[in-house]
Structure 1
Amino acid sequence: MRKVVVYELLSLDGVAEKPDEFFTAWDEAMDANLAAVIAAQDAVVLGRHSYTEWAQFWPSSPIEPFATFINDVPKYVATSTPLDQQWANATAIEGGLVEFVRELKTRRGGDVGVHASISVARALLAADLVDELRLVVAPAIVGRGRRLLDGLPAMRLEPTRGVTSPTGHLLVDYRVVR
């Protein structure tokens, strides 16, 4: 069975919204971490807001290796309305998100990634469909904004990796314990 892997950029106080405002440095360890995450993924689930923003940015972005990955990978978008922006390999999810991802996990293939989509990550965590959290935590307290883990039920996590990058970012991975 495929794994669902949530990859998020967070502040130390858990804010996931607008990470470009508090991620002020990026280094090679963070690049290598992202490259390892996406190397195992062959599908991505996005929320509508992330899709709309990313469909404007990534098709012409020179930021590698993520640009090539996200432009080529099949993207499934959680939305109740038709997609108004064209982007290669993007499909609106028909029916419910949870049911779709539950079925997607049974298909053959690599990991299913959830990137940047706070509401999608929360819904899948609440439905017990997430297998791993791969987090990059900035050395910053933001104090405002949507937090990734707010409103979720209690769950146990097992740390599988934790390192500090040269610029002081924490690269932490957790497995959801069932």
Structure 2
Amino acid sequence: MTNQRKVVAAYFLSLDGVAEKANEFLTGWDDETDAAGQQLITTQDTVLLGRRTYDEWAGYWPTSDVEPFASFVNAAPKYVATSTPLDDAWANSHAITGDLADFVRDLKSRPGGDIGIHGSISVTRSLLTAGLVDELHLVIAPTVVGTGQQLLASLGPLKLETIHGTKTPAGHILADYRVLH
């Protein structure tokens, strides 16, 4: 039996599940949160992005010195769910042609490391619905935002198994889940 690559979605969330504009609610930082992020990207060699995230990130990460994520995301192949051509020339970026779920099924069957989704809520929701996300790695901030796009809203039932959970000195909950299919 061949081991398939995992699709791992990683997000900063508020306690009420808001995933967008994390920079506005994520306060404080600590070495444990940083180490968890560093450990996560050591298992990944490919990134899936939605078009809005791609457009935002293509203007930031190529010249960023925020390490180790800048080196990781700039070097990794990036596959973008979009219906329009990619304008920016961000290294190793490719538009996904055809159906997203079919593309990811094929990508999972190829050799390689884990496939990361970082910051693309619609891509994660689509792939959760299609049963293609294998793990969720969440940093949950001790903040209730009240409004904003929630990562898991309107998805229907999901069965999860806790892989790991801990509280950091900054008060974040690091929660890693396996999605049971």
TM-score range, shorter chain: over 0.9
Matches of residues 36-47 of structure 1 in structure 2 within 5 Å? 36-47=39-50
Aligned to 2:10: 7
* Counterpart position of 1:104: 107
Aligned partner of residue 71 in structure 1, secondary structure: helix
Match of 1:56 in 2: 59
- Can you list the C-alpha shifts for 1:145-176, whole angstroms capped at 9, x where unaligned? 00000111212100010011110001000001
Write the letter of the residue equivalent to 2:123.
Answer: V
Partner of residue 86, structure 2 = 83
Over the aligned positions, Cα root-mean-square deviation in angstroms equals: 0.6
Give distance in 2, aligned partners of 1:89 and 1:137.
Answer: 30
Q: Does 1:26 align with 2:24?
A: no
Distance 2:46 2:101 in 1: 15
Which residue in the other structure is 1:120 paired with? 123
Of stretches 115-124 and 149-158 in structure 1, the one that deviates more from structure 2 is 149-158
Unaligned 5+ runs, structure 2: none
Q: Deviations over 1:30-50 (max 9, x none)?
A: 110001110000100000000
Structure 2 counterpart of 1:140, from 139, 143, 146:
143
**Which 4+ stretches in 1 moved above 3 angstroms?**
none
Once residues 21 and 29 of structure 2 are traced to their aligned partners in structure 1, the CA distance between those partners, rounded to angstroms, is: 15
CA separation in 1, counterparts of 2:173 and 2:68? 20
3-state SS of paired residue (2:59): helix
Aligned residue in 2 for 1:95:
98
TM-score, normalised via structure 1 length: 0.98
Q: Which amino acid in 1 is paired with 2:157?
A: A
Query: For 1:164, which of 152, 164, 167 is the aligned residue?
Result: 167
Deviation string 1:13-45 (CA, Å, 9 cap, x unpaired) is: 000011010012121111100011100001000
Counterpart AA for 2:119: A
Q: What is the TM-score with the length of structure 2 in the denominator?
A: 0.97
